Amino acid sequence: MSRLKFIVLTLVMAAMLTGCYNSTSTKKNVFVSGDVSSGNPDTLSDEEEQTDSINDAFYNKHHYAQNYNFVVTADSLPLLRQQPEELLVNLPTDTITVYHNDRLVVVDFRLLKNDAVDSVWIEVARDQYTFGWVREKHLLKSTVPDDPISQFILTFSNVHLLISLIIISVIAIGYLFFNIRKKKAKVVHFNDIDSFYPTLLAISVASAATFYSSIQIFAPETWQHFYYHPSLNPFAVPPILSAFLVSVWAMVIMTIATIDDVYHKLSPAHATLYLSGLAALCSANYIIFSITTLYYVGYILLLAYIFYAVKRYVANNYFSYVCGKCGAKLTHKGRCPHCGTLNT
């Protein structure tokens, strides 16, 4: 292993052990209405305990509560300035609007069973002068948690991005096969190089995509909680998420190792073409396996793909001969592609 690989792998492993972790503590500021100066201490204590109990119940179900931060992703989000009950009984109301990239903090929440549209109302504030109420489904549709990992997850779950990736992958793969036939270029699974890293990376992407969709199917609450309280530390999350994060870190390590190995085995031009094809293949794997797993077909496809990928690698890298002059590995007798010597 080259010194570059050793250094990079060491840094990545260190990042795994010291990955960021967001505390999921349910302790929140509690706002108690009324005149506390004249109240009975025992009564106030009971009210606070009841409020804490309500807040904890809301947090356990919705995975966020008071003081949680969102970022507006929609062009605009109108907030009701009056109480939600006033809107439900058709009293005059007005709104104040927050805009794209505005940061909001959850101030309070309210459950209104007589609201046929959405019984959950959330009060949010941008600053001390800009605050108001909004139905939860409108809030969640128009915002994302104020965390880069959550924003990354939302981006890669976006339907428009998936469609774009499909189009880019089809164009890239078509261009790749054109170059293979015309220039006999190297490409993973077909005319591969003597390195298992690219094949392993492609398999890892397919496996991680399958795992990602499996969590959404079999543990949706766990994934939703991770979305609101993400972490890159595999030791700070439940086992199923820990396994997923380990697979993600493994992809990062293999990507770096693959780039390093490919540029050592191919010329810069051919290496760039090879890596472009590999990127297109990995994009296709992500799309195919993340979607097909939702319909349970992805598991069969994954086993078939792993078998096919390993079989193709062995077929492309089984060398029966060695050049008598330069020592290059050869799959058959004949002229050496490296030094031109005829081996008989």
pLDDT at 14: 47
Torsion sign, CA atoms 109, 102, 128, 230: positive
Q: Which residues of the chain have pLDDT under 70?
A: 1-51, 159-165, 169, 172-184, 318-321, 324-325, 327-333, 337-338, 343-344
Q: What is the pLDDT of residues 72-86, one digit of tens each?
A: 999 999 999 999 999
pLDDT number for residue 46 = 60
Give the Cα separation of 282 and 204 in Å (integer): 9
Q: Domains of the chain: which residue ranges? A: 41-144, 148-343
At 283 the pLDDT is: 84
The reply to whether the predicted model has a pTM over 0.85 is no
Query: So what's the pLDDT on residue 7?
Result: 44
Cα separation, 224 vs 214, in Å, equals: 13
pLDDT at 38: 40
What is the pLDDT at residue 62?
93
